[in-house]
A and B are shown apart, each in its own frame.
Chain A
Amino acid sequence: MKNKSLISIHDYSKEDYFKIIQVASEFEKNAGQASNLLAGKIVATLFFEPSTRTRLSFESAVQRLGGRIIGFSEASSTSVAKGESLKDTVKTVSQYSDLIVMRHPIEGSARWASEVADVPVVNAGDGANQHPTQCLLDLFTINQTQGTLENLTITLVGDLKYGRTVHSLLQAMSYFNPKFRFVSPKELKMPNEYKIFLDQNNIEWSEHEDLNLVLPESDIVYVTRVQKERFSDPIEYERVKNAYVLHKSMLEGTKSNMRILHPLPRVNEINVDVDPTEKAYYFQQALNGVYTRMAIISLILGLK
């Protein structure tokens, strides 16, 4: 991983996943202690579109490691607004920093940036394409809650058509003999290409419209937002919007090891009455994002 950019979840092998999980666990164990691992290093966070949560998570990771940060949180105040190419911006910033974290609305922009930069690039989201650190923190969290990644039943709920998070997770988990349960409105079903991928890898999956039917067998319930603008028919949205909301009352009869994840931000797809239950794990998941990003950054910079 040293000196290599992280652009897509496909850039990493199963062994890389375990390495990241191991290093992230170390950071978690030593959470209270100050680290100076990144002393003297500068990380640039280039957010060409705003994503406060992701940016703060990366910046927290760098600060916790004792590194420094330069960057911007939206493109309008930068040279990009003056018409500079992405290539020139990235090439220039790579002279100022040891690593670039980049978020950009255009698909493939992160790969392109990694080809022109003189330092490694970590993709913090390139449009609808990839967001690999999210996927790695999901793996870390699943492993942390279940003690393993192997042989789990994973229920994916919500927008399975456009949700890059669930697509990456599906591909990354394919190494570990999972069973998938897909629960979504008709308009937002898991695309065929992923079902073909699962079939080719002999991974069991099934599709459902009723979440209650699959909750009892699930080890992980991964909930994503169902956005109104994804529906061609607004009436259809009104009809289904409450069908995919998780309430505390639905948790009765679920496995004791079952945990609920969500990439956040949440709107109303998980009712707040779930929050105090031990099955709600999405805020720990957000914290894990910091540990995972600490691990990724220090591995890429060759400090671990």
Chain B
Amino acid sequence: MENKDLKELKVSAIKDGTVIDHIPAKNLFKVISILELTKIDTQITIGYNFESKKLGKKGIIKISEKFPDDRDLNKIAMIAPEAKINIIRDYAVVEKKTVAVPDYIEGIIRCMNPKCITNFEKVVTRFDVISKTDVNLKCCYCEKITDQDHFELI
């Protein structure tokens, strides 16, 4: 069997929709949560713990008939900066995208400072992104840094 066929066996192809590949396996379920995929009624295929040269173990998500907008996709850049997005129409890739860490994010992530107002009162968290390689976020309220290793999704 050819390599190509082997790949297709692992995760079945979709006709129209979005494929999100190169998600670090440990963050796969966080991506599902950020994109609110549990609320979607179309078919979703999820692959978990696939071998990846770059990431060790990776995850892949195929969403039928849905095309999340760039704003939503960029949210996952926080926890899956290497993610590759393929837009599929009629079984063919019509567009390739990468995610980009935005300069500023609202919501999604909790401030890691236990003394921060956002952890006491109903305040939507706001962060300035001060580093995009090792993603570091500076809380607009308490001004403390939340680093990548401490990201906790809201």
Contact = CB atoms under 8 A, between A and B. Distances in A.
Interface of A: 8, 10, 85-87, 106-109, 111-112, 126-130
Contacts of A106: 115-117, 120
A131 B32 CA distance: 41
B35 interface: no
A112 B143 contact: no
Contacts of B111: 108
A129 B145 CA distance: 12
Interface stretch (B36-44, B79-87, B134-142): B134-142
* Across the A-B interface, the 4 shortest Cβ-Cβ residue pairs: A108-B141, A108-B142, A107-B142, A108-B117
Nearest to B139: A108
A107 B121 CA distance: 12
Given A85-B121, A87-B121, A112-B123, A107 B140 contact: no
Interface string B28-72: 000000000000000000000000000000000000000000000
Contacts of B140: 108, 111
B115 A112 contact: no
Given A85-B122, A127-B142, 6 more contacts: A107-B143, A108-B111, A108-B143, A109-B117, A127-B115, A129-B143
A129 B121 contact: no
B115 A111 contact: no
Interface of B: 111, 113, 115-118, 120-123, 139-144
A65 B117 CA distance: 33
Nearest to B141: A108
Given A107-B144, A129-B142, A112 B113 contact: no
Contacts of B142: 107-108, 126-127, 129
A130 B120 contact: no
A112 B115 CA distance: 14
Contacts of A10: 143
B40 to A, nearest CB: 33
Contacts of A130: 143
A191 B123 CA distance: 29
A201 B43 CA distance: 53
A10 B142 CA distance: 13
11 contacts: A10-B143, A85-B121, A86-B121, A87-B122, A107-B115, A107-B116, A107-B142, A111-B141, A112-B117, A112-B121, A129-B143
Contact of B116 (A8, A86, A87, A108): A108
A41 B86 CA distance: 60
A57 to B, nearest CB: 24
A86 B120 CA distance: 10
A289 B29 CA distance: 53
Nearest to A115: B123
A241 B115 CA distance: 28
Contacts of B139: 108
Contacts of B143: 8, 10, 107-108, 129-130
B122 to A, nearest CB: 8
Contacts of B118: 108, 112
Nearest to A10: B143
Most buried by B among A85, A86, A108, A127: A108
A51 B123 CA distance: 26
A129 B143 CA distance: 7
Contacts of A86: 117, 120-121
Nearest to B117: A108
Contacts of B144: 107, 129
A123 to B, nearest CB: 11
A126 B113 CA distance: 14
A127 B131 CA distance: 26
Nearest to B113: A107
A210 B122 CA distance: 47
Contacts of A8: 143
A109 B118 CA distance: 8
A10 B139 CA distance: 13
Contacts of B117: 86, 106-109, 111-112, 126
